[in-house]
Structure formats: structure tokens, C-alpha cells
């Protein structure tokens, strides 16, 4: 790690990029303190997220630090850092678009299921008005698609009882529904 990082802050906020490059001994810490606020502001404006802006600015500063021997010799080291940051912002947006497109492809559009017809609603409303055992028989037989034997087994009654309940329930429904 560069020993200049431990140097106290020397107040170069007023220095321009050109003045920074004239003195090749300018420590990275001075560059960091001078450029960081501007980089965060630019990234926040680009991304709309302060947290993401700080992350990308830190990444930019790490890249600057790793290449500091070359970056500090540039005519405008701050300009270089801003260009790196803008590329990072562009990549950030591309990742978000790719992620959104992927998530959109993963969502399944459920086919529209038509509700029951008015006739079916009237029929089942009438079934709900039947006494308990005939109502259960009708529901298991028609809605549950069970055989007479299965309905008898489920309700623990003889098959003949199921048949007679079905017959009486059908007659009551025919009268009630006018069929």
C-alpha cells in the first residue's frame, strides 16, 4: 500500500487537475478528497440511487488507486476518474435492463379463467339450499366427479341412499329452477 495514504490532508480542494499533475508527488489521498464529492454527485444523478452511486464511486477510486502511478501523470486525473465512473454507470443500467428483461420472461401470464356462468351460479346456489346430506351427495357426485359407490364410501351410507338422495335432490332442483 502507498505510504502517501497515511499523510495528513493538505487541503488541495482549491487545486485544479493541471496543478495536481504538475506535482507528481501529490498523494492519492488528496486526489480522493478532492474528487470524491463530485464523483458521488455525478453517479447519484446518473443512477438515482445514492447507495449505488457510492458503491460505483468507491469502485472508481479503487481503480484510480491501483493505477495511481499512471493516473497522477495524466493531464486531468479527475477527468479520467469521471470517465471511468460514467462507464460504470452505463454498465449498471445495462445490468438493470438485462435483469428486468429476464424477470419479465420468467413471469408467467396465467390464462384468463372464465368464471362460472349465471346458470351454474344459480344451480349451485340452489344446491346450497338443499338439506345437508342431499347437498353433500350432489356436490360430491357432480362437482367432485365421484361415482355413487365413492360417494357412499365417503359419506359412509349405503349406495341406495346415495341414489335416492340424488333422485330427490334433482327433483327439488328442477322444481326450484323451473327446468
Cβ neighbours of residue 85 closer than 8 Å, sequence gap 6 or more: 39, 42, 43, 56, 57, 60
Question: pTM to 2 decimals?
Answer: 0.49
Each residue of 36-54: pLDDT tens digit?
A: 999 999 999 998 889 999 9
What residues in the chain have per-residue pLDDT under 70? 1-25, 179
Domain ranges of the chain: 3-106, 118-177
CA atoms within 13 A on the CB side of 120: 7
* CATH class, 118-177 region: mainly alpha
So what's the pLDDT on residue 16?
A: 55
Amino acid at each position: 500500500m502507498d505510504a502517501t495514504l497515511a499523510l495528513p490532508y493538505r487541503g488541495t480542494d482549491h487545486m485544479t487537475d493541471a496543478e495536481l499533475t504538475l506535482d507528481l508527488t501529490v498523494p492519492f489521498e488528496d486526489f480522493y478528497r478532492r474528487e470524491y464529492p463530485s464523483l458521488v454527485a455525478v453517479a447519484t444523478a446518473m443512477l438515482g440511487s445514492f447507495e449505488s452511486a457510492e458503491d460505483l464511486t468507491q469502485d472508481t477510486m479503487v481503480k484510480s488507486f491501483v493505477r495511481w502511478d499512471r493516473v497522477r501523470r495524466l493531464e486531468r486525473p479527475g477527468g479520467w476518474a469521471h470517465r471511468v465512473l460514467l462507464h460504470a454507470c452505463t454498465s449498471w443500467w445495462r445490468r438493470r435492463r438485462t435483469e428486468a428483461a429476464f424477470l419479465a420472461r420468467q413471469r408467467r401470464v396465467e390464462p384468463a379463467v372464465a368464471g362460472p356462468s349465471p346458470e351454474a351460479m344459480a344451480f349451485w346456489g340452489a344446491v346450497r339450499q338443499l338439506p345437508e346430506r342431499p347437498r353433500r351427495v350432489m356436490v360430491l357426485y357432480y362437482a367432485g366427479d365421484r361415482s355413487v359407490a365413492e360417494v357412499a364410501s365417503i359419506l359412509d351410507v349405503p349406495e341406495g341412499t346415495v341414489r335416492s338422495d340424488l333422485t330427490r335432490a334433482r327433483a327439488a332442483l328442477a322444481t326450484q329452477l323451473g327446468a
